[in-house]
Amino acid sequence: MKKTAIHLLCSFGAVVALVAVWTAVAKSMNSEMVAPDPLSVGREFLSVLKNPSFFPSFGGTMKRVVVAFFLSFGCAVLFAIPADRFPYFKSAFSPLVVLMRATPTMSVILLCLIWLKAAKSPVAVTFLVAFPMLYSAVLGVLEKRDRSLDEMARVYGVGKGKVFAGMIFPSVFSALFPQLCTTFSFCIKLTVAGESLAATKLSLGREMYVASVNFETARLLAYTLVAVVAAFLAELIFKAVYRAVGMAVYGYRRKRIDKEIRG
């Protein structure tokens, strides 16, 4: 409990220091258009939340983020499993992953703007950038698994479903969790960037683009703060899901052990 309080205090101190530096820079610039102070951004943030178009725009962006993230993660798992089992498949698929990882993000965004409609290009951009990251993460976790446990389960005749639920899924999920949190936050940034360049309707990216064109720096920073808060809340949700899954798996193991003892 004491360590948690110290960590929270350190985080709060870092935020206070950041706001203090921001305020000093804003006062030295003495220009709302170049560097608005935190109070101006805070007022604009509240104004943005009251705007009738905010929630449709926010919902549209988060919908694209969720679709792109789960599409990337699903495809990463789909291709990482055979790559882990079949070395030839991994070798054949590796050049494509390297190509996707090495292609500049701006190039991906511009190509998607040429090939796709404004509503679909942010999802495509996020998928093309996030997929190789998640594929490498999933494959790395699968390759580092203790294979002797699989062999032991096979010797004792443990079913594949029980092996997956009791051994593979808990170990893979716990190892992947930090990468999933980081990638989801990254997906928010990618989606907003794609929306901004594509001027996608009902999106945070378009609102940022309009604010930048009109030199409304405080409004631009307010929408940026919205994206930051969204990423923070998403991380809290991921942690809650992680704890819930962990408790469910632990409960499943506990019940099975109690059943075996009593049986």
pLDDT at 85 over 70: yes
Q: At what angle do helices 169-198 and 105-115 cross, to 10 degrees?
A: 60
- Predicted confidence (pLDDT) per residue in 215-252, tens digit: 888 999 999 999 999 998 988 888 887 777 666 655 55
Average pLDDT over residues 169-179: 76
**Inter-CA distances, 122 with 144, 184, 206, 245, Å:** 33, 14, 11, 30
Which single residue is written with the structure tokens 């309707």?
Answer: 201
Dist CA 119 CA 64 (whole Å):
9
Average pLDDT over residues 116-133: 90
Dist CA 212 CA 6 (whole Å):
39
Which single residue is written with the structure tokens 């996608």?
Answer: 200
- Predicted confidence (pLDDT) per residue in 141-166, tens digit: 888 876 666 666 676 666 666 666 66
Q: Spell out the domain ranges in the chain.
A: 1-30, 35-262
Average pLDDT over residues 166-182: 76
Average pLDDT over residues 92-118: 87
Selected residue with higher pLDDT from 210 and 28: 210
The model's pTM: 0.83
Q: What is the reported pLDDT for 188?
A: 93
Q: How large is the greatest C-alpha to C-alpha distance in the chain, in angstroms? A: 77
Q: Containing H/E element for 14?
A: helix 2-29
Structural contact between residues 65 and 191, judged by C-beta atoms closer than 8 angstroms: yes
DSSP 32: T
Selected residue with higher pLDDT from 155 and 6: 6
- The CA-CA-CA angle for residues 77, 83, 88, to 5°, reads 160
pLDDT at 180 over 60: yes
**Inter-CA distances, 255 with 167, 250, 260, Å:** 16, 9, 9
- Predicted confidence (pLDDT) per residue in 8-46, tens digit: 788 778 888 888 887 888 788 877 777 888 888 888 999
**In sequence order, which residues have a C-beta less than 8 Å from that of residue 100 and are 6 or more positions away?**
128, 129, 131, 132
pLDDT at 104 over 50: yes
Dist CA 103 CA 1 (whole Å):
46
The CA-based dihedral angle spanning residues 45, 48, 50, 52, taken in that order and rounded to the nearest 10 degrees: -170
Which class would CATH give 35-262? mainly alpha
